[in-house]
Structure 1
Amino acid sequence: MSGKYIVVFKDNVDQTQVDKFAKDVASNGGTVNQRYDTVLKGFSASIPDAYLQQLQSFTGSVIDYIEPDSMVTTQ
């Protein structure tokens, strides 16, 4: 099973590292949906549960946070 997440990297991470993680998501059965590189570094993706656990192990070192991707509304 997989879920949709936003993966945000720390400011000091270069684009090469972000690209590597995006390729790893794809090679582990996920799909990168959108890349972010202006306001923040990261991507949104459908990530299989098994790979999500591995990806979460990088939180605090190169990944700033991973959160569920959801609809945001304003009033």
Structure 2
Amino acid sequence: MSGKYIVVFKKTATDADIEKYANDVSTNGGTVHDHFTPLLKGFSAQIPDQYLQTLQSNLQSGPIDYIEPDGVVKTQ
């Protein structure tokens, strides 16, 4: 199973870092939908659960700042 997520990178991440992870998502069965640079260093993607766990395990030591589920936010 997979879900749609927003992957946001640390300010120190390079364009090459972002491209590497986008390519890795595709290589591991996911689909990158939107790149947010230059507004935000990151992208949205459909990411398989197994590869999502790999990405999350590298949060502390790698260039990724956080990963959040993609969805609609509404105010009342």
- The alignment's TM-score, normalised by the length of structure 1, stands at 0.92
Deviates more, 1:55-64 or 1:30-39: 55-64
Deviates more, 1:7-16 or 1:60-69: 60-69
- The alignment's TM-score, normalised by the length of structure 2, stands at 0.91
Gaps of 5+ in 2: none
Residue 3 of structure 1 corresponds to: 3
Residue 17 of structure 2 corresponds to: 17
Q: Could you list the per-position Cα deviations for residues 1-59 of structure 1 after superposition, in whole angstroms to 9, with x for gaps in the alignment?
A: 00000000000000001000000000000000000112210100000000000011221
Report matched runs for 1:9-48 at 5 Å. 9-48=9-48
* Shift >2 Å, 4+ stretches: 72-75
Residue 71 of structure 2 corresponds to: 70
Gaps of 5+ in 1: none
Using the aligned pairs only, state the percent identity.
Answer: 60
* Cα drift, residue 73 of structure 1: 3.5
* Cα drift, residue 74 of structure 1: 5.0
2:72 and 2:49 map into 1 onto residues whose CA distance is: 21
Root-mean-square deviation (CA, aligned residues, Å) is 1.2
1:38 and 1:72 map into 2 onto residues whose CA distance is: 22
